[in-house]
Amino acid sequence: MTLDRSEQAIARAAADRAVPRHVAIIMDGNGRWAKARHLPRAAGHRKGMETVREVVRVAGELGISYLTLFGFSSENWKRPETEVKDLMGLLRLYLKREALDLHRQGVRLLVIGDRARLAADIQESLAEVETLTAANTSLTLIIALSYGGRAEIVHAAQRIAEDARDGALDPASLTEDAFAARLFTDGIPDPDLLIRTSGEQRISNFLLWQLAYTEFVFVDTLWPDFDRESLLSALGEYGRRERRYGAVSA
């Protein structure tokens, strides 16, 4: 059997034990991609959506168990109304076009964030796709929408305060695990690898609690240009890192 170039790269990545269980991605650079081509920003987001399809497919093939994508931040609501509308339109399109394909690929979809701020029809579609794919076991795709890390932590703190007030929790015995169980990501392991595209090197309020021991890989590639090889190269970089979790090396 002859392997093509990307299959060889996948085999190499697997051999390097470079396949992390959970990859999180800050998809950045759609606007700059469009600007460089004298296109409207919406064209960059549209191409970015194609990249999402490709990356989800490759992540599944590689045996990544969890992929979290930062689709829309709580701060993104401050963008011009037309751009917010374009992004929401793309999300609608993605859900409509991809639901069955995701299901066929064995992908389970989960959404984290303040979904109450999303339009009612989007909330409904999200719930439908989550239900459709709930029993799938190949890849869990987590899309962060109207998501902010600090807001998520405050939300968890509110739930803890309520439980303490109701006598269901003793504040003195609160553990990190019990706190994490009140985050949107309850039951999902923390990311092993965070990738941010477009050369920016910031967390931008993404998964603040969950990224405590995550390896960060920043790449210059703009999100619409990010492809299979870019993902494999980031995984290769991850595979060369030594994770110590605060301990000394052996």
Q: Which is nearer to ligand FPP, 185 or 221 (CB)?
A: 221
Q: Which is nearer to ligand FPP, 74 or 210 (CB)?
A: 74
The residue from 28, 30, 86, 192 that is catalytic is 28
Tell how strand 107-112 and strand 139-147 pair up: parallel
The residue from 76, 136, 205, 225 that is catalytic is 76
Closest residue to bound ligand FPP by CB: 31
Backbone φ and ψ for 16, nearest 5 degrees, come out as -75, 0
Smallest separation (angstroms) from ligand FPP to the CB of 80: 11
The tokens describing 113, both together, are: 């964030």
Q: Is 166 a catalytic residue?
A: no
Q: Is 141 exposed, middle or buried (0-12, 13-18, 19+ CB in 10 A)?
A: buried
CB proximity list for 51: less than 8 A, separation 6 or greater: 27, 223, 224, 225, 226, 227
Q: Which is nearer to ligand FPP, 200 or 229 (CB)?
A: 200
Q: Which is nearer to ligand FPP, 76 or 138 (CB)?
A: 76
Return the number of other C-beta atoms located less than 10 Å from residue 175's C-beta.
Answer: 8
Q: Is 177 a catalytic residue?
A: no
Q: Which positions lie near ligand FPP, rule CB under 6 A?
A: 27-32, 45, 48-49, 52, 69, 71, 76, 90-91, 94, 143, 198, 223
Instruction: State the DSSP H helix or E strand holding residue 189, giving kind and residue range, or none if neither.
Output: none
Smallest separation (angstroms) from ligand FPP to the CB of 115: 13
Cα gap 189→147, rounded to integer Å: 18
Q: Among residues 31, 64, 51, which one has the least CA distance to residue 230?
A: 51
Tell me the catalytic residues. Answer: 28, 76
